[in-house]
Amino acid sequence: MRSFVKSWIPQCLQILRSPCRLFHGCNRLLTSQIISYYDSVNQCEKELPEYFNFASDVLDKWSQLEKDGRRPANPAFWWVNDEGEEVKWSFEELGFLSRKTANILSEACGLQRGDRIIAVLPRVPEWWLLNVACMRTGIVFIPGTSQLTAKDILYRLQASEAKCIVTSDTLAPAVESVMSECHFLKTKLIVAKGSRDGWLNLKELFAVTSADHKCVKTRSQDPMLIYFTSGSTGSPKMVVQSHGSYGIGFATSGRYWMNLTPSDIMWNTSDTGWVKAAWSSVFAPWINGSCVFVHSLPEFKPAVIAELQVHESETLFVWRGSTQS
């Protein structure tokens, strides 16, 4: 594992030492052109726009700048695991794959705008595709940690009235054990290499689904995300976030607190079920055009994390992470 990690460090440094990175002020100006309007909304200098969609108004704009050669060469998404597998997507590739995923949700899963979908997945690339695909379709995305039990899943399915659940083959049996009590659930989608009876397979659907998809026009106040609270003093409560609250709200923290630019690689170690994943693995880095880095480990290993992490001043990673919410 150590040799694999070290083998990628020189390549990453080479990317970040490109002329675009050295001329850091140019990248800050580029970032400002993208988010200055949304930052002014957060500063109460301008009114919240009536319509906003993070996929079309932010991600697709970065994709166009990428095509025009006006964004550094580092990827938009970079994923590795402890087995040496790697995934790298540009903003253009992220758009292509998320539009495919949007069609899968609308066609194969039969979901419509306003429907709710629960995703209980580890740190796999499909989690990010589902996140963006829900933005494109107006479907409300409800993440859940992989630590959920069958009882936890049942409670969330009943409380949210979700029509679809997406999970891995590890948690599929837990979902099946509570199916008889989930009257709103219509579709089960699995992220796995093999098929499973009664489940649609996301990987298989990719091979037969078109990427021709038009993003819906969502209002800033339309619901986009639902997170369940931890339930420390009672049953977990649903907290709804709109397209504007998270899609626009993290422009300021990403710009000033994290100091992100299009040349930066953002590594957040939070589990996908925690709200920190939305803050620092989706909205703050991508509104600034930064690369989201994901290291998928079966369990948290401090030694591996420490070996990968370097000081922010060396500009390999801007690290803002937590293993909890």
Cβ atoms within 10 Å, residue 218? 25
* Cα within 13 Å of Cα(70), Cβ side: 12
Provide the 10 A C-beta neighbour count for residue 263: 27
Q: Which residue has the tokens 């020189």?
A: 10
**Is residue 198 scored above 50 in pLDDT?**
yes
pLDDT value of position 160: 97
> Is 70 exceeded by the pLDDT of residue 224?
yes
For the ranges 131-140, 228-237, 307-316, the one whose mean pLDDT is highest: 131-140
Per-residue pLDDT tens digits for 156-192: 999 999 999 999 999 999 999 999 999 999 999 999 9
Tell how far CA 212 is from the center of its chain: 21
Predicted local confidence at residue 305, as pLDDT? 73
Give the contacts of 26 (CB within 8 A, at least 6 positions apart). 20
- The CA distances from residue 227 to 63, 187, 195, in Å, are 28, 20, 29
pLDDT one-digit tens code per residue, 185-196: 999 999 999 999
pTM for the model = 0.86
- Domains of the chain plus CATH, in order, are 50-317 (3.40.50.12780)
Provide the greatest CA pair distance for the chain: 59
φ, ψ of residue 139 in degrees (nearest 5): -80, 140
